[in-house]
Amino acid sequence: MSDTLQKSSDIDLDKRPENGRATAIKSRLTSWDSIILVLTVLVLIVASFSVENFGTSRNFTFMVLDLLPIILIALPMTMIIVTGEIDLSVASTLGLTSSMMGWLWNQGLSIETIIPLCVVIGAICGVVNGFLITGLGLPSLAVTIGTLALYRGLAFVVLGDGAVADFPWNYTGWVTGTIGGGAVPNVLILIVVLALIFGIVQHATPFGRSLYAIGANAQAAHFSGIRVARTKFWLYVVSGAVAGLVGVLWTLRYSSARADNGSGLELAVVAAVLLGGVSIFGGKGSLPGVLAGVVLLTALQNALRLEDVSGQALNIVTGSLLVLSVLLPNITTAVRGNYHRRRLRQAASR
């Protein structure tokens, strides 16, 4: 009798690791990251067969250029939202740095000097946001809505309604060009490098793990030794610097420095980040999911443009995705939680 019980116990113990691995694999396959990745691949495949010119190399180049500003700004935005904050001033920072780029070019500065200056200007905008939020304790939503208007207004003060369009061809040509004259855009190198840097920092460093701790419970993170205010402050500085860099790339792509460049881009960035599974309440989300969300949003917009859908309809699609990106992950989490609790109750009743 005792030998039988011992053998049964040994069998159960042998099964536990296998069950644990199976559960982990199942959880990963049914996670929001996996769902959004599969959905993105499906949209790309369907659009390639159903939308004329979508699958061409020329359209691929244009689509990468379209996702460039969204994906770069989404990298620091992901970290900010993971901590439970938000930055809605990024598009206005882009517009301000674009205006400054045009103004500095008119003053006779070289493009090699202007580019780093614009990145620094963007970082200064981030310093202002970070100080107001972490130094004075003001809510990030209210602060960045205010600086959204402030920075856009300053952009019009700097450049007015005019445009500067005589930038050097070797810079504008590089931004819009491809590697070796093929189908891979030059800017894809920049996207990959920055995505790898931000991905490693967020998912493979103590700093990245501290972001999730702050988002889950800022007070507990503070008592555990994490410098919450300092961490958030530098996130806003980095967000501003990246927005400044995107302002430069935007200006060079269109060869036009304007005060209204990037208007409304913050909506697409936030929609892509939330669509990628980052919780608006903080503490959850991953960069791979965000990258998939950016590609999905850009692919949908690109396919609709090829079908001659109006700009107003594109805004409707972006807004709808923003609502769904908040709603669907919460529904998915609730369904999985109810299923898990039901399984536990069934196991307990046996």
pLDDT by residue (tens digit) across 242-291? 999 999 999 999 999 999 999 989 988 998 999 888 988 888 889 999 99
- In the CATH hierarchy, which top-level class contains the domain 2-340? mainly alpha
pLDDT of residue 335: 73
Q: Residue 260 is which amino acid?
A: D
pTM of the model: 0.86
pLDDT of residue 5: 45
Residues of the chain predicted below pLDDT 50: 1-2, 5, 7-8, 11, 13-14
Name the one residue in this structure whose structure tokens are 């495949």: 45
Report which DSSP code applies to 52: T
b/e per residue, 318-345, with b = 16+ CB within 10 A?
beebbeebbebbeeeeeeeeeeeeeeee
pLDDT of residue 96: 97
pLDDT of residue 273: 92
pLDDT of residue 3: 52
Instruction: Domain ranges for the chain, please list them.
Output: 2-340
Cα dist. 265→115, 195, 236, 260, 297 in Å? 21, 19, 17, 11, 12
pLDDT of residue 182: 80
- Give Cβ neighbours of residue 78 (< 8 Å, ≥ 6 apart): 198, 202, 273, 276, 278, 285, 287, 290
pLDDT of residue 18: 56
pLDDT of residue 11: 46
pLDDT of residue 314: 78
pLDDT of residue 341: 77
Residue 164 backbone dihedrals phi, psi, to 5 degrees:
-115, 125
